[in-house]
A and B are shown apart, each in its own frame.
Chain A
Amino acid sequence: MTPFHYLILAFGSVFFLLGLYLLVLGRRVSRLQSMLQEMRRRVEED
């Protein structure tokens, strides 16, 4: 591997990990939103 490849690998992994974390946060937000919708449905059924 050339130094350029190492550099791409290093910076690529930084942004890959950051992106992965943002994805995880996004999934948690959507899970909370579906919980809220479920609760709203239950309250409306009341």
Chain B
Amino acid sequence: MPGLRTPRWLRTPRWLRTPPVVVRAGGWLPWTGRICDIAAIPLVILGLYFALAYAPAAARETGGPVQRIFYFHVPFAMASFLGFAFVLVCSIGFLSTGRRSWDVVAEAAAEVGLLCCTIVLVTGPIWARYAWGVWWTWDARLTSTLVLWLIYASYLLLRNYMAEDPRMRRYASVLGIVGALDVPIVYFSVHWFRTMHPQTFITREGGLDPDMHIALRVGMAAVFTLFAALLIKRIQLGRLQENVERLQATLDRREQP
């Protein structure tokens, strides 16, 4: 009966009636993510081929056949630096504008950067055990990388434990900025301190075979594409999470008497 219909202002808004609408994300992220997803798998397979079969074997003192992990270890280290650089830029963006979208990207970059840093900290000691005879040594490069890992692990813990606190985003941004200051220390530690860790590979005088350079570049392409794919997935998840939480809050408000 038309006379008994719920007044228009009391009806559930259309955007709330179809919650899955929040899954749709516009802009360039979805298609870029799709390209990265598609490109990452063949690139990783190619990277594995170049690392395990194409690159020549290294000398025993640099790890012999175990040195092949270098073609993934170094790119993951660079990807973690890139992730933490994203955290720095996005945290500054969040503190200066207050827009949550900056914070979502910062959190995503910290998480993917921490994953890459974990891979570096796991693969490095495996190589070291064979090349140096020990799993771990308190060398400047290794220690500063561990400190970097601990800073960003605490960044994510802070976000988790202060999730309900409105100051969480500001505190996390400050920690994200301070943590990124460790990245140059990690990078230059091999120059600033006496260290066992092999010197940086970028200089041509590093003595890398041209075939090793090619394998390293393929590894870089594979790992950076994988990094981009994971970062985009994590940003999309962060945005979805924000939307779901907003919807949940709206629903809770509506249901309060």
Contacts and interface: CB of A to CB of B under 8 A. Distances in A.
Is chain B a partner of chain A in the same complex?
A: yes
A13 B230 contact: no
Interface residues of B, number: 37
A40 B65 CA distance: 56
Nearest to A45: B255
Interface in A2-33: 3-4, 6-7, 9-11, 13-14, 17-18, 21, 25, 28-29, 32
Interface in B56-78: 64-66, 68-69, 72-73, 76
Contacts of A29: 237, 240
B177 interface: no
Interface stretch (B11-19, B83-91, B99-107): B11-19
Chain B interface mostly: helix
A42 B241 contact: no
B69 A11 contact: yes
Contact of B130 (A3, A13, A14, A46): A3
A3 B62 CA distance: 12
A25 B123 contact: no
Contact of A13 (B22, B52, B119, B237): B119
Interface of A: 3-4, 6-7, 9-11, 13-14, 17-18, 21, 25, 28-29, 32, 35-36, 39-40, 42-43, 46
Given A14-B76, A18-B226, A43-B16, 13 more contacts: A3-B130, A6-B126, A6-B127, A10-B123, A14-B119, A17-B115, A21-B115, A25-B233, A32-B237, A36-B22, A39-B248, A40-B19, A42-B255
